Structure 1
Amino acid sequence: MSVIGIAELPLHSGKVPPWMAKYMKRLAKAIVEVIVEEYGPREVVKRLADPIWFQAFNNAIGMDWDSSGSTTVTLGILRQVVEENPHLGIV
């Protein structure tokens, strides 16, 4: 499947509220745990490398599709999940 296109994303200011970050972390952990359990840790990395899947993951854990900083926030949340859950096997 080939997807070609562009998206113009507005620049937003501010930060993710702490209550939202906590919620995002719980959702990210649940999604990553299922992928690791079903397919192994390599599959998590493979999926994160797919920009369409990454955007869907980003939205699934609670970021708006057009939020600036979504990559930074999503990877920051994912980093916390991985660091706090070494049993996931993602280094």
Structure 2
Amino acid sequence: MSVAEEIEARLRAAFAPEALEVVNESHRHAGHGGDDGSGESHFAIRIRAAVFAGMSRIERHRAVNRALGDLTARVHALALDIG
């Protein structure tokens, strides 16, 4: 399973989102710091789920990071758009 697929599976299981998009942006960072050559180091995530209602921005980010767990150690950068 690719890192993007694993991210998507964990977020779907944790939040049952109405909308979820996981985009691998690693190609845009080739040769830059944090590029480990795997092609799976930089991701953009857009997620919409009812569970985020009433949470602050920081709480939403923490919830996503908790759901991703050990995957965050394998990823150099995550751009999060949570609502």
Normalized against structure 1, the TM-score is what? 0.32
Q: Give the TM-score, by structure 2 length.
A: 0.33
Larger Rg: 1
Q: Please identify which structure carries the higher strand content.
A: 2
